[in-house]
Amino acid sequence: MFPPVKSKVNFSQLEENILRLWQDNNVFERSVEARQGAPRFVLYEGPPTANGSPGIHHVLSRVFKDIIPRYKAMKGYYTPRIAGWDTHGLPVELEVERELGFSGKAQIEEYGVDRFNARCRESVFSYLKEWEALTERIAFWIDLKHPYITMENSYIETCWWAIKQMWDRGLVYQGYKVTPHCPRCGTSLSSHEVALGYQDDTEDPSVYIKFKLVEQSRQKLNLERPAYFLAWTTTPWTLPGNTALAVAPEAEYAIVEVAQEYLILAPVLLEQAGLGDAPVVAKVEGSDLVGLRYEPLFNPSDFDIPVETMAGLGKEGQSPSGILWKQEGSFNYPVIAGDFVSMEDGTGIVHMAPAYGEVDYQAGTEQGLDFVHTVDLQGKVIGNYPFSGLFVKDADPLILDDLKLRNLLYRSETIRHTYPFCWRCEAPLLYYAKQTWYIRTTAVKESLIAGNAEINWYPEHIKYGRFGNWLENNVDWAFSRERYWGTPLPVWRCENPECGNLDCVGSVPELENKPGFAGLKEPLDLHRPFVDELTYDCAKCGAKMRRVPEVIDCWFDSGAMPVAQYHYPFDPESRTIREDGRFPADYICEALDQTRGWFYSLHAISTLLFNCPCFRNVICLGHILDAKGEKMSKAKGNVVEPWAVINEYGADALRWYFFTSSPPGNVRRFAEKSVAEVTRHFLLTLWNVYSFFVTYANIDHFTPGSEGALLEESELDRWIISELNQLIIDVDSAMENYNPTEAGRKIESFVDDLSNWYVRRSRRRFWKSENDADKLAAYTTLYQCLVTLSKLLAPFTPFLAEELYQNLVCSVFPQAPDSVHLADFPVADENKIDKQLAADIQLAMKISSLGRAARSQAGIKVRQPLAVASTTLVSKQEQSEAINQMVRDELNVKEIKAATTEELAAMATNPDYVVDNVASPSTALYTKLTPELQAEGMAREIVHRLQTMRRSAGFDIADHIDTYYQGDDYIREVMENKTLADYIKQETLSQRLVEGFPEKVDFKETYKLSGYNVLLGVKRLG
Ligand SMILES: [Zn+2]
Ligand SMILES: [Zn+2]
């Protein structure tokens, strides 16, 4: 006997029980250990930052991370899976700043870096329990007991080692460059962080500014009245920093007259600037403008702003001391030639502020422009302007007012465009010239590109699209952060300004063995401020070496996980990772935004260290939106709470929905009702087949394995077993190709066929009273299907698969593996695949479904037998009796006829026929009824009512009954017709059909059937 299975099921409850079973029996650990010695299959877990509750998108990535290693384990691979937690960086610091009510770095310094970092450490772990609970509940099997944690000393030490490797090859440098800078967080960001924070539809000023030509330059152009260059900008706050204008030397410029003044701009942009009607008084070449000079909008010397010159600076902005050379500026700002000047928008004359733009800075070093900083690192205007002390965006309107008063603002509007914001705090980023540490990734650009060629991307277009483009446009990695909670940059600098010696430290022992090493407090903590206390003697001059203040980008931490999770190369066991299969990973999976985040930092670090990629296969998941297609956000209140969905439908339903609803790379709209739908369509369909099997198998005392030679396989059995073996091949191959969606959909369609064709068409074989070879074959076949399904489904819906397996296998075969997740993946028996039979049945299904469509069009119930169905889908030669038999049953017709297209077309216009589709009919039903057909239809109606009554009376499926009736004469005729009466008895397990009623029946009901009245009653026997 199998443990009984109810037809009603609470999946969530069932899953909780299975979870306990797994925990009690250490099934995950054993599923890994059982394969020791086999080839490895390695997943790298992209460490989530555990500083907030996990959301539905985390469930998405975690179940996709889970499914592939589960499949590989069943295929015989050794698949240890190590969890990881990302614990450093801005995400954590900001969370703590919020808790403490801080708004910037000054408050952190005042509070104390030690106390602040202690809070960061705590904060990370406050959410960890929740993450672990969700990870377990959705059955993401990963070793949570031994995770790698990026803030541990050993992890940091490997990061130091990695940086030192790069340092020794000259790949780490400090550059004075324009870097994306978050004024709130007070730190540089890398280009990949910037890529995470673009916001469309940002409103900014769009202004045209007049720059007045100096007297001498005006005369050169033979202009008698005041003349101005017109330039356009969306960042008025950069105007006080302006020190040049750029033109395209080859282009033509127009001098137009407006209100007794002259304006100079490109003629192609006159219209856009609203000067389409202004008279053009002259045209000049851009090269004629180069070298002309104009008056500063805001002369720095009037506002207490120091001026420096960029003359003599190298390309990376490195003067010998690392800062700019101070020198008095000229204040007569020049027009320069620039190949970057666009004629697409603006005026063809570009405002240059070398401190606040990459191109501007580049031009500044090349042309020796003046350089002024008018804004500090908090984004506040310095000096003594009327708008000093304001945040740049707040200063914008005041700057424009000022220019307007002086008649230097030509036109002022607003624009909506895409602008980068801080990916963590959402402050608008400023492009800001300052010192930052860089990794020279551009030096290995070719290797980055070549390595990408070896990686399999799913979906494929990411490879040379989003990711490939990113690599093609590689810029050096700005990887230092002027922050607190992170891996400290292991660079020490000599305090003696004359010396300035720089030294990179690659390990703790290396540091401790430095001459004059001091400042160590036990226990060692490699975080600020403790690490800042560690000093040693300069090898060059003997003065004190102190660590530079920066920490590093947390994306470096996570990108270093292939080595740092093993404490490479310090731990002796770690040294073999490149030979024993632990590096590179076979598989990683994250959402699309990680192409510029973790996918990139992994690839960059691995290429820099080992000149090879560190992952072979990657599934790149599309983003998840709400049901209406909008981004989920707390502010909008449309965030889906994963626990609510899991408690309602179970984790399997959510997993199945994620795997099968759309390919992994697609953007998906999450709707809870879709999870309800997959539950109904798939999980419950399978459950009903399972519960049907167990119920009848128990009634008949079916014991698998005892069939012996008794089997008498029907065509239907051979067909479903053929389909089952084909399914194994299809699922295996889709999974091998990292395509769970296709694999899942194949399973879904098999279960549909199993339920709606095999089981439905086999019902009678299970119901009949004799336990013959045919019945046994049916049980054996269905049993085999269900057991195989449990194994195929194990990576997809691990709970339901386990339920089936425990009941169907473990309860019968004590020697079998005690969990489906310890079993091997099924292997197809290709001899059992019969392609012809599969095609035949496919055809029968198709004809039947078209015939049913015709019936429903004509409004004739399937219970009413019809004489003939004609179809063009089979020719007279191909018609097999097996197909005919099935279609006759399905369509409840007496005969199937092959017909030509012309014949069908004629039937479509004949009122005695109904066709499936008037435009191109392929199946037609003849709808005229004979008295015999009518009587048979009535008999079927009666059977249908009696079956419903049996259920209402609470009879068991196998109970025998007597049936009583009373009604119109026509009813008696049907009941007394020998053939029809036998049919009714057989279908309803009725011993007798009796006219009239005894004193007591178990259930009775009055009906009107096709206009005839009848009272029916049922009584259970013995
Ligand atoms: Zn920020
Ligand atoms: Zn020194």
Nearest CA-CA partner of 750 in 883, 842, 837, 835: 842
How far is it, in rounded angstroms, from Cα 889 to Cα 895? 10
How far is it, in rounded angstroms, from Cα 534 to Cα 556? 23
Residue 643 annotated in active site? no
Encode 822-835: b = buried (16+ Cβ within 10 Å), e = exposed. bbebbebeeeebbe
User: Residue 336: in which H helix or E strand, if any?
Assistant: strand 333-337
795 sits in the region (left: phi over 0; alpha: psi -120 to 50; else beta) called: alpha
Q: What is the DSSP string of 655-705?
A: HHHHHHSS-TTS-EEE-HHHHHHHIIIIIHHHHHHHHHHHHHHHHTT--TT
Give the active site residue among 283, 315, 631, 636: 631
- Structural tokens at position 949: 């009554």
Ligand 1 centroid distance, CA of 56 (Å): 25
Residue 300 annotated in active site? no
Ligand 2 centroid distance, CA of 494 (Å): 5
Ligand whose nearest atom lies closest to the CA of 89: 1
How far is it, in rounded angstroms, from Cα 46 to Cα 559? 9
Ligand 1 centroid distance, CA of 88 (Å): 15
Residue 86 annotated in active site? yes
Residue 283 annotated in active site? no
Ligand 1 centroid distance, CA of 39 (Å): 45
Give the active site residue among 594, 726, 806, 864: 594
Ligand 2 centroid distance, CA of 306 (Å): 30
Sign of CA dihedral 540, 541, 544, 547: negative
Ligand 1 centroid distance, CA of 357 (Å): 19
* Three-state DSSP state, 177: strand
Cα distances (angstroms) measured from residue 733 to each of 70, 273, 478, 929: 15, 61, 43, 51
Encode 340-367: b = buried (16+ Cβ within 10 Å), e = exposed. ebeeeebbbbbbbbbbbbbbbbbbbbeb
Ligand 2 centroid distance, CA of 504 (Å): 14
Q: In what order do the strands lie in the sheet with 333-337?
A: 293-294, 333-337, 244-247, 349-352
Q: What is the DSSP string of 204-232?
A: EEEEEEEEEBPHHHHHHTT--S-EEEEEE
How far is it, in rounded angstroms, from Cα 376 to Cα 106? 14
Nearest CA-CA partner of 506 in 193, 938, 814, 168: 168
- Structural tokens at position 97: 């700043």
Inter-axis angle of helices 56-74 and 740-753, nearest 10: 80
989 sits in the region (left: phi over 0; alpha: psi -120 to 50; else beta) called: left
Q: Which DSSP category does 487 fall into? A: P
Is the N-terminal amide bond of 584 cis, ω within 30° of 0? yes
- Structural tokens at position 859: 């409004």
How far is it, in rounded angstroms, from Cα 805 to Cα 827? 17
Give the active site residue among 22, 47, 205, 840: 47
Q: Are 327 and 409 in contact (CB under 8 A)?
A: no
Count CB neighbours of 294 within 10 A. Answer: 23
Q: What is the dihedral of CA 786, 789, 793, 794, to 10 degrees?
A: 70
Ligand 2 centroid distance, CA of 538 (Å): 5
The reported pLDDT for the residue numbered 117 is: 97
Give the active site residue among 8, 521, 634, 978: 634
Give the active site residue among 86, 370, 586, 717: 86
* Three-state DSSP state, 587: strand
- Structural tokens at position 676: 């309800």
Q: In what order do the strands lie in the sheet with 502-504?
A: 502-504, 491-494, 544-547, 536-537
Ligand whose nearest atom lies closest to the CA of 540: 2
How far is it, in rounded angstroms, from Cα 134 to Cα 157? 31
Give the active site residue among 598, 656, 687, 719: 598
Ligand 1 centroid distance, CA of 796 (Å): 40
Q: Could you identify the residue written with the tokens 């929905």? A: 657
Ligand 1 centroid distance, CA of 604 (Å): 24
Residue 982 annotated in active site? no
Ligand whose nearest atom lies closest to the CA of 377: 1
Q: What angle do CA 132, 133, 135 make, to 5 degrees?
A: 65
Ligand whose nearest atom lies closest to the CA of 424: 1
- Structural tokens at position 981: 């009466």
Nearest CA-CA partner of 949 in 883, 897, 1004, 886: 1004
The reported pLDDT for the residue numbered 49 is: 85
Which residues are 349's β-sheet partners? 247
Ligand whose nearest atom lies closest to the CA of 483: 1
3 state SS for 764-786: HHHHCCCCCHHHHHHHHHHHHHH
Q: In what order do the strands lie in the sheet with 477-478?
A: 187-188, 172-182, 430-439, 477-478
Residue 555 annotated in active site? yes
**Cβ contacts of residue 134 below 8 Å, gap of 6+?**
54, 58, 59, 642, 643
pTM more than 0.75: yes
Q: What is the mean pLDDT of the chain?
A: 92
Q: What is the DSSP string of 845-861?
A: HHHHHHHHHHHHHHT--
Give the active site residue among 555, 687, 719, 757: 555
Which residues are 188's β-sheet partners? 181
Ligand whose nearest atom lies closest to the CA of 420: 1
Name the stretches of the chain with pLDDT < 50.
316-326
* Three-state DSSP state, 741: helix
Residue 237 annotated in active site? no
Rounded to an integer, what is the distance from CA 986 to the centroid of its chain?
55
The reported pLDDT for the residue numbered 438 is: 93
Ligand 2 centroid distance, CA of 548 (Å): 14
How far is it, in rounded angstroms, from Cα 979 to Cα 319? 107
Ligand 2 centroid distance, CA of 515 (Å): 13
The reported pLDDT for the residue numbered 262 is: 96
Ligand 2 centroid distance, CA of 503 (Å): 10
E-strand ranges in 356-408 read: 370-371
Q: Which DSSP category does 904 fall into? A: H
Ligand whose nearest atom lies closest to the CA of 94: 1
Amino acid at 708: G
Q: Are 375 and 303 in contact (CB under 8 A)?
A: no
Q: Which DSSP category does 300 fall into? A: G
Ligand 1 centroid distance, CA of 103 (Å): 10
Q: Are 804 and 790 in contact (CB under 8 A)?
A: yes
Ligand 2 centroid distance, CA of 903 (Å): 101
* Three-state DSSP state, 345: coil
